[in-house]
Chain A
Amino acid sequence: GNSVTQMEGPVTLSEEAFLTINCTYTATGYPSLFWYVQYPGEGLQLLLKATKADDKGSNKGFEATYRKETTSFHLEKGSVQVSDSAVYFCAASNFGNEKLTFGTGTRLTIIP
């Protein structure tokens, strides 16, 4: 089955800093890739996704590019805000296989 490895946390940054959270995957075939965000006390929300190689997903200033050659889907944001403090999960799914495989999550804290 698939596996997803993401950057160990916690990550602490100052407001307006550049953010990268690394995510790599192993999979048979070409999975769809996702980033989910979990705010305190809430469920996971889909942040962005990419369904094929070289696709770039983007939302709320976050971006991630599906890199087949490096099997990666790193999450980036140019200038983080305090409101971005949350836990971020990378996930992968194969077409026809409805089950998502999640990474262990990366806790991000942004300080003013």
Chain B
Amino acid sequence: NAGVTQTPKFQVLKTGQSMTLQCAQDMNHNSMYWYRQDPGMGLRLIYYSASEGTTDKGEVPNGYNVSRLNKREFSLRLESAAPSQTSVYFCASSESGTGTYGYTFGSGTRLTVV
């Protein structure tokens, strides 16, 4: 019962480098999400995918792109990393069509941009 798996767990990038954060879920959930967590800011939604083949911007999408590769996988790409993107990134998934079930979260990726 893996749930939501994120890779890598830790990453250090130089300013301007690119990278992709990977996320996969094995619960057959339709909806997937990317959040960032910063001290004192709580969780902020970057992008989400309500179903396979669709993606939408969240609260803080600038500097990021996403791909819903298939029903299981939802990746987050930083094309040109900036120090302001230093954060902990969480992927989550949920059943679609209702808000009553809540989300299942991955264990996070701690990203430092120097």
Contacts and interface: CB of A to CB of B under 8 A. Distances in A.
Interface stretch (B14-22, B60-68, B72-80, B102-110): B102-110
A95 B42 CA distance: 22
Given A43-B90, A105-B42, A100 B99 contact: yes
A46 B3 CA distance: 13
Size category of the B interface is 20 to 34
Contacts of A100: 99, 102-103
A112 interface: no
A69 interface: no
B99 A43 contact: no
A89 B58 CA distance: 19
Size category of the A interface is 20 to 34
Contacts of A98: 31, 48, 50, 94, 96-99
Interface of A: 31-32, 34, 36, 41-46, 49, 51, 89, 91, 93-100, 102-105
Interface of B: 4, 31, 33, 40-43, 45, 48, 50, 58, 90, 92, 94, 96-100, 102-108
